[in-house]
Chains A and B, each alone.
Chain A
Amino acid sequence: MIEMKGVNKVYQKGVQALANINLKIEKGEFVFLVGPSGAGKSTFIKLLLKEEEPTEGQINIDSQDITNLSRRKVPYLRRNIGVIFQDFRLLPNKTVFENVAFAMQIIEASSKDIRRQVPMVLGMVGLSDRASQYPHQLSGGERQRVSIARAIVNNPSILIADEPTGNLDPETAWEIMKVLRQINRRGTTVLMATHAKEIVDVMQQRVIALERGKIVRDQQRGAYGYED
């Protein structure tokens, strides 16, 4: 569950990135975050990850007020939020298995758990037969699936996808959406920032549109709503 109450974010140079954001995303929802570049989507995500602090307002995640979370506790917050990016961010010198296992090593999981959990998530994203390959041997769609596997391997309650299909052709993008939808069906909240009009229109999920830092539309079963 994600909740924002009266959130403002003003950057040091005086740019108002977010203005008076109030919203609630329930557990298990699938939400698109849309809007033109510079509308505040990135800031929105950064606030959830505690990469940036809100200037004003309160943010709750899973009923926990994270607004005044101490620096030391931020890593533990992030363990409950999986993130995927447009550029995949895989480690080139690690195999698919190692890339996913890396996320578990970091939270000091046992090698027994790693050996059990990694093949399972690779199966979920349909990469069971790619475990020993390196990222450069994979297609773009496969790489994004590896990054999804890494994001969910620690069973986060929220998955944030920042333009996950931005670098992919439409067909591959749909593969990724299928995987995300599947993860969402298992109970994970998915928040996806995107410019992919077709995907948003077809998926018929909740759409939150940002413009100049304000929520201009929040619609169940919404459409993309922009012509780009």
Chain B
Amino acid sequence: MKIRTVKYMFRQGLVGLWRNRGMSVASIGSVAASLVVLGLIITLVLNINNVAELTQMQFDSIQVYLNEGLDQNEVQEIGQRIGSIDGVQLVEYESKEQALKNMKERWGEQGYLLEYLENNPLPNSFIISMETLEDADGIVAELQKLEGIDEIKYYKEIIENLLKIAGFIRTVGLVLILILILVAMFIISNTIKLTLNARRQEINIMKYVGATNWFIRWPFVLEGMALGLSGALIAVLVVYFGYQYTFQIISDRFTVMVSAYMIGTRAMMHTTISMFSVLGAGVGALGSFISLRKHLRV
């Protein structure tokens, strides 16, 4: 295709957008709305997945907090007893100093907050890796019989629930997104239909003079894509500022513990921008395609 043809296509596309500005705005709005909802769902699902993954990585194990003031022999004996329980794969000792260091690492950028602690509130502990998660209940029952143990932490239910919630949101989200995308596509295809009607005569002439179908199609496809991409741009901005704001509030008002588990704004936007652009342009192009199908049969 020649450059002047490309210019021609873009000009025609713009003319179409401007001629039906009312419907254009409606289309952009509907794409934006759909994508914002999509963004909301994606943020939720991705974050829940992230939390579930992190939790699983950190707590795919049982943590046993020891009483304060045990001597080394007592600690060792407890360790051996734990090691002999069925289903236990590995027992690791974590001193309170080590625990604090690890926590600092986990908190990343916000780790400096831990430096102001007067004394280390973390206990000495054993971290038990299990052969399978299913053994957890049995192992915990055995652990409860031991002495010198302050608290047993295990997160089987939390992990399972998190995964369940993520799955649920994903399913509901998918259905919702599908509906919204269809609505957006329908609205765009109607907008394109208006342009088509305004230019029916032109298209008719083009067909008789020997314009190829793609020559006729491109301006409309570009118009649709412009609608979709504009909607996507708005949605990206809304999601970006919305997410940043939420992230900020959670870090400020709640604790860093929560936001440390959230995906960073930047990483989030990488996913969103590429996904929205593709979806917006795709929905727009498909919308035009649908309305063009009939008109090209001359």
The answer to whether A and B come from one shared complex is yes
Residue of A nearest to B2 (CB): A108
B209 on the interface (CB 8 Å rule)? yes
> Are A78 and B205 within 8 A (Cβ)?
no
Given contacts A105-B8, A111-B4, contact A78 B207 (CB under 8 A): yes
Residue count of chain B within 8 Å CB distance of chain A = 19
Q: Is A91 within 8 A of B211, CB to CB?
A: no
Residues of B within 8 A of A106 (CB): 206, 209-211, 215
A225 at the interface (CB under 8 A from B): no
Contact A107 B209 (CB under 8 A): yes
> Which of A103-141 touch B at CB < 8 Å?
103, 105-108, 110-111
With known contacts A89-B204, A106-B215, A79–B209 Cβ distance under 8 A: yes
Give the interface size class of chain A. Answer: 20 to 34
A78 to B, closest residue via Cβ: B210
Whether the Cβ atoms of B298 and A51 lie closer than 8 Å is yes
Q: Which residue of A lies closest to B296 (CB)?
A: A71
- Chain B contact residues: helix, strand, loop or mixed: helix
- Give the shortest distance, in Å, between A70 (CB) and chain B (any CB): 12
- B208 contacts across to A, CB distance below 8 A: 49, 78, 83, 89
- Please provide the chain B residues from 133 to 176 with a CB less than 8 Å away from any CB of chain A in the complex: none
A154 at interface (Cβ–Cβ under 8 A)?
Answer: yes
How far, in angstroms, from A213 to B207 measured CA to CA in the complex?
A: 26
B202 part of interface (Cβ distance < 8 Å): yes
Closest chain B residue to A80, Cβ basis: B210
For the complex, is B201 an interface residue (Cβ under 8 Å from A)? yes
List 24 contacting pairs A-B, 8 Å CB cutoff, sorted by A: A49-B208, A75-B210, A75-B211, A77-B210, A78-B208, A79-B209, A79-B210, A83-B208, A89-B201, A89-B205, A102-B205, A102-B209, A105-B5, A105-B8, A106-B215, A107-B209, A107-B210, A108-B2, A108-B4, A110-B4, A111-B4, A150-B209, A154-B209, A154-B210
